[in-house]
Structure 1
Amino acid sequence: MSYLHSIFVAPFADMADAPDFFLQVVWEGLVSGVLYALIALGFVLIYKSSRIFNFAQGIMVVFAALTLVGLHENGVPALLAVPLTLLVMFVLAVGIERAVLRPLVNQPDIILFMATIGITLFLIGLGETIFGGANKVMITEQLGIPTGSWVVEPFGGFVSVEQKDVTAVVGAVLLVIALLVFLNKSKMGRAIRALGDDHQAALSVGISLSTIWVLVWFISGIIALATGIVWGARAGVSFALEVIALKALPVLMLGGLESVTGAIVGGLAIGILEKVFEIYWGQPLLGGNTEAWFAYMLALLVLLVRPQGLFGEKIIERV
């Protein structure tokens, strides 16, 4: 009984005396979760429209951030570098559709998945050739992102809140709202949803597959740039960001490959839970560094119970 008490009760014994510390942990997890959710949204959009699991989404985050910083280092004003980076991501989307996806139409899913691994390796090589492998500093202040901090005092305690993290959360919320409005209200958004619901039926009514693929890869590029700016502001810009971006994989397993809601909820859940687990159990009981594997273990446990994820559609096969 005392052993169970030490595992499940003792870590929270002093929480009542320090609500500010717990809220600080939750806030840090929330910010990470928002970024996980953004990356996962890129995966979901491409999978819904083409049934392609885009392994390259992580390196797209790195490539977008490197392009932005690289343009600024070569004399392009920060506010002009943003639309130019978006133009680069659009050219990349067109190039991927023309050179990779179009020749592989109707190929098995594994072939398309391997193609995205090829895109990943190509972008790594291209990025290292153009920008080098050294770490770079995100142009946070030049973009007008505040770098100070606020002290918030909820429930009698206090929480230190970085202004750039608040900007990240607000920006992510606005981006998600804009994406949902686009998917539900615009003609092209409805075409993307139709293609995801019934591929053959959508093609039969004249929806252009190539146009949709370019569009969703470009939208994923926009999401990648937004994520790269925020992650770059927190951890610098380097190819190590690709590893962080892979945290979106357990988010997808948890929320479901086709669910926008699942990507958002899964990202927030993993971000908060992995931080709380690390602080209250990982460090005192397991020596720390649990954030490296906690999300994958949580996703695995969910898959054992619900293989399609919490928000995925259950597949029913009739014989």
Structure 2
Amino acid sequence: MGFFVETLIGGLMAGMLYSLVALGFVLIFKASGVFNFAQGAMVLFAALAMARFSEWANIALGGDNLFLANVIAFFAAGVVMFIAAWAIERLVLRNLVNQEGATLLMATLGIAYVLEGIGQTIFGSEVYPINVGMPKDPVIMFESLFEGGIMINKEDFIAALIAAILVAVLTIFFQKTPVGRALRAVADDHQAAQSIGIPLNRTWVIVWFVAGLVALVAGIIWGSKLGVQFSLATVAMRALPVVILGGLTSVPGAIVGGLIIGVGEKLSEVYLGPYVGGGIEIWFAYMLALVFLLFRPQGLFGEKIIDRV
């Protein structure tokens, strides 16, 4: 029983990290109605900025104040993501207002390649570490409840907690604030939103900036675990099944979808892996997403689209 609970908790923590990446997809889709293929590149770009700014700030401070260097780097990376959001709106999205969804989709592909290229040019292409002080040693808990206790990775636990807090804040932001309601209105109909005075250009800058901050947090967490390297952009691919399960328009759906995927991957690898030769953790999420596409393509919490003619 203890091993099952340990696997379950590990899956839940991994699922929260998937949810964090999936949030970027949901945020952009809720504000523009387009699937953002640049989200993985945004995670990579933000992580590169954080890693390099932290390194440079630490050198400038004499190498003995990592906390202050990380604080400076976080705000500097946030400014970079705001500039990126402004540039994307000014140079790309402003010229594509009221265009077909396929046009916007292709634009996000172009944005992804541009961000990867600019990131490599400015920050370099080496593997950079991010050290934000999160403990990496595992800890044994609940020894009184389970024989031998349950081993929990401190870094994964703290990362999952940060992801949960960010998800809760974004949920409140979309549901309770005027800006959040404006973002949902823009997603429903660009022209109608403009007709009632919602500034489309400013709204897109806001949502891309918020998605950039989410990408920054995700990049810091994943960069701390894996190091900042260009393969980090592929982390977004792990979040695709999460979005499909939860629904493209639902922030809570990103949470639930991430938890389902995280737990499903861990449990299937441990309990089904020995019977299918292992490796099930790699493709389990995509098989589950395929089932949802066949029987419930809008996801668990997504809105069902009905076209009337």
The Cα shift of 1:153 comes to 1.4
Match of 1:37 among 5, 10, 19: 19
Q: Residues 83-94 of structure 1: matches in 2 within 5 Å?
A: 83-94=75-86
Task: Give the match's secondary structure for 1:161.
Answer: strand
Q: TM-score, normalised by structure 1?
A: 0.89
Find the counterpart in structure 1 of residue 125 from structure 2. Answer: 133
Note if 1:149 corresponds to 2:131. Answer: no
- 115-124 vs 162-171, greater mean Cα deviation: 162-171
State whether residues 14 and 160 of structure 2, in contact with CA within 8 Å, keep that contact through their aligned partners in structure 1.
no
State whether residues 58 and 243 of structure 1, in contact with CA within 8 Å, keep that contact through their aligned partners in structure 2.
yes
Find the counterpart in structure 2 of residue 185 from structure 1. Answer: 176
Find the counterpart in structure 1 of residue 52 from structure 2. Answer: 70
Identity of aligned residues (%): 51
Q: TM-score, normalised by structure 2?
A: 0.91
Q: Distance in 2 between matches of 1:163 and 1:301?
A: 34
What's the C-alpha RMSD, in Å, of the aligned pairs?
1.6
Q: What is the identity, as a one-letter code, of the residue corresponding to 1:318?
A: R
State whether residues 57 and 72 of structure 2, in contact with CA within 8 Å, keep that contact through their aligned partners in structure 1.
no
Q: Distance in 2 between matches of 1:161 and 1:296?
A: 27
The Cα shift of 1:314 comes to 1.7
Q: What is the identity, as a one-letter code, of the residue corresponding to 2:253?
A: G
Note if 1:53 corresponds to 2:29. Answer: no
Note if 1:290 corresponds to 2:272. Answer: no
Task: Give the match's secondary structure for 1:133.
Answer: coil
Task: Give the match's secondary structure for 2:140.
Answer: strand
Task: Give the match's secondary structure for 1:74.
Answer: helix
Find the counterpart in structure 1 of residue 289 from structure 2. Answer: 299
Find the counterpart in structure 1 of residue 238 from structure 2. Answer: 247
Match of 2:249 among 258, 262, 265: 258
Q: Distance in 2 between matches of 1:165 and 1:187?
A: 34
Find the counterpart in structure 1 of residue 214 from structure 2. Answer: 223
Q: Distance in 2 between matches of 1:85 and 1:315?
A: 37
Q: Distance in 1 between matches of 2:169 and 2:57?
A: 31
Note if 1:24 corresponds to 2:13. Answer: no
Find the counterpart in structure 1 of residue 104 from structure 2. Answer: 112
Q: Distance in 2 between matches of 1:71 and 1:21?
A: 41
- Per-residue CA shift, 1:217-250, capped at 9, x if unaligned? 0111111111111111221111111112211111
Q: Distance in 1 between matches of 2:44 and 2:287?
A: 26
State whether residues 171 and 252 of structure 2, in contact with CA within 8 Å, keep that contact through their aligned partners in structure 1.
no
Task: Give the match's secondary structure for 1:160.
Answer: strand
The Cα shift of 1:31 comes to 1.6
Which runs of no fewer than 5 residues in structure 1 stay unpaired? 1-18
The size of the alignment, in residue pairs, is 297
